[in-house]
Chain A
Amino acid sequence: KAGVTQTPRYLIKTRGQQVTLSCSPISGHRSVSWYQQTPGQGLQFLFEYFSETQRNKGNFPGRFSGRQFSNSRSEMNVSTLELGDSALYLCASSLDHSGRLTGELFFGEGSRLTVL
């Protein structure tokens, strides 16, 4: 069974640009969540999608947005990039049979964004 796939793995952008990251969850997983990982702040929750709806959101500005498609694939977008957005962005998928998850997330290898 293929794992969580994130693309691109590495990218470099300049301030003010926007970026879109993609995540394909494990087949059958309906929940996709996104995390930002930085040396200073560690892992911080961005948002979670289930059945194409944002179900939970972290404390990030509106420049950070996401969506989920009918096949559970997800994208996140960051507009008007700032230097502080440089980070590893991790996508995770999980099963959700009853609406109550167990926290068992399956992570991708991440997309490393560098903002110059």
Chain B
Amino acid sequence: GNSVTQMEGPVTLSEEAFLTINCTYTATGYPSLFWYVQYPGEGLQLLLKATKADDKGSNKGFEATYRKETTSFHLEKGSVQVSDSAVYFCALSGALTGANSKLTFGKGITLSVRP
């Protein structure tokens, strides 16, 4: 079955530091890949997505590239801000079942950014 593996957390960075959050996946076919973010006390929000190999999703300074050869979708940001403190989830949607609202999530990683 489908699975998503995220690096262990939590992660604490200083403001303006470079961020990388690793995500690898296992899936049959050609899934779509997503990063969702959950700010304190809020529901999940879609941060970015990529629907095919070599696509790069980007939003709010965050980027992730769909690498089929390494089955990865690592999240990066060149300079984090305190407001980026949140929980980040990598996810994929299955490409074969037709019921694509079933997302498989990674465990999530908590990012804390210090001023």
> A interface vs B, CB < 8 Å?
4, 31, 33, 35, 42-45, 48, 55-56, 58, 90, 92, 94, 96, 99-110
Asked, given contacts A42-B105, A42-B108, whether A55 binds B41 with beta carbons under 8 Å apart, the answer is: no
Is B59 part of the contact surface with A, judged by Cβ < 8 Å? no
Contact of A107 among B44, B98, B99 (CB under 8 A): B44
In the bound assembly, the distance between CA atoms of A102 and B34 in angstroms comes to: 10
Closest to B1 in A: A59
- Chain A residues with CB under 8 A of B106: 42
Q: State how many residues of chain B have any CB contact under 8 Å with chain A.
A: 27
> B interface vs A, CB < 8 Å?
32, 34, 36, 41-46, 49, 51, 89, 91-93, 97-108
Nearest-neighbour CB distance to chain B for A47, whole angstroms, equals: 9
24 of the cross-chain contacts (CB-CB < 8 Å) are: A35-B103, A42-B105, A43-B103, A43-B108, A45-B104, A48-B101, A55-B99, A56-B101, A99-B98, A100-B98, A100-B100, A101-B93, A101-B99, A102-B51, A103-B49, A103-B93, A103-B103, A104-B49, A105-B44, A105-B46, A105-B101, A107-B45, A109-B43, A110-B43
Whether the pair B41, A109 counts as a contact (CB closer than 8 A) is yes
Asked, given contacts A4-B43, A56-B99, A108-B43, whether A102 binds B32 with beta carbons under 8 Å apart, the answer is: yes
